[in-house]
Structure 1
Amino acid sequence: MSVSLYYRACREGPLTEAERAGIERTVQAHLASFPYDDEESLYLYTDVRSEPDEILAGSTKMPSDPSRLLPVIEHVLGSLTELRRAVPDAAWGVHLDDVDVPWDEEEGYALPGMRDEGLIAELGDL
């Protein structure tokens, strides 16, 4: 059974050129620093829009290896935090299958315990 992270942003107006450039910079930086070549990374859909006002959408399949799960989630959520800040006036939705990922103005997107060093070490031992 696979778990995926889904993300989208909606608003009435289209992306500006500056927003598109910011998104492209974020995506390229994400891809360059992603820790695993053999795992799915940040993936933005190019042609599929589920809502008329959808300006950005994508998904990432999570790794089945528990030792890779938190690093991938943290990396992708960090990139989504940057994307949200590049397009702040959109209505954003980020969820891990049916669970909403909370937004915090200071921290950005994070799951409870995601930055807990003890939990990360424990998962790394699996």
Structure 2
Amino acid sequence: MSVSLYYSAHRATPLTETESASVARAVAAHRASFPYEDEESLYLYDQDADEPESIINGSTKMPFNPGRLMPVIAHVLDAVTELRRAIPGAEWRVHMDDLDVAWDEVEGYSLPGMRDADLIAELEAAHEGY
């Protein structure tokens, strides 16, 4: 069974050209800096013409390797944080299956432990036995 991180933004007005360019730059930068070639990174769906208020929709499947889980979560949530900051006035929803990821004005999107080096090392060590 796989777990995915989902992200979406809704607003009555479509993205401006400037916002679209900011989104494209952020997506390109985060994909280029993603640490794992064989894992899924930030992925935005094509815009649905039937839902004009839905301006951003995407998801990322989480890795099965527990040692990669936290770095992938951190990388993708950092990207979604950058997207949110580039698109004012939108209503965002970010969640990992049934778990909502809270927004913090200073930190952006984050989950407990996602940058904890000891936890990441422990998860990597646990995976070595597989």
What TM-score bracket applies, with the shorter chain setting the length?
A: over 0.9
Q: Which aligned segments of 4 or more residues in structure 1 are displaced greater than 4 angstroms?
A: 49-52
- Amino acid paired to 2:4: S
CA drift at 1:31: 0.8
Counterpart CA distance in 2 for 1:41 and 1:55 is 19
Structure 2 counterpart of 1:40 = 40
Count of equivalent residues: 126
Indicate the SS of the match to 2:46.
coil
Counterpart CA distance in 1 for 2:19 and 2:52 is 19
CA drift at 1:100: 0.2
Counterpart CA distance in 2 for 1:38 and 1:28 is 17
Unaligned runs of 5+ in 2: none
TM-score (norm 2): 0.92
Cα deviation, 1:67-95, whole Å, max 9, x if unaligned, reads 01111110000000000000021000000
Unaligned runs of 5+ in 1: none
CA drift at 1:116: 2.0
Greater Rg by CA: 2
TM-score (norm 1): 0.94
The correspondence of residues 1-126 of structure 1 with structure 2, limited to 5 A, is 1-48=1-48, 51-126=51-126
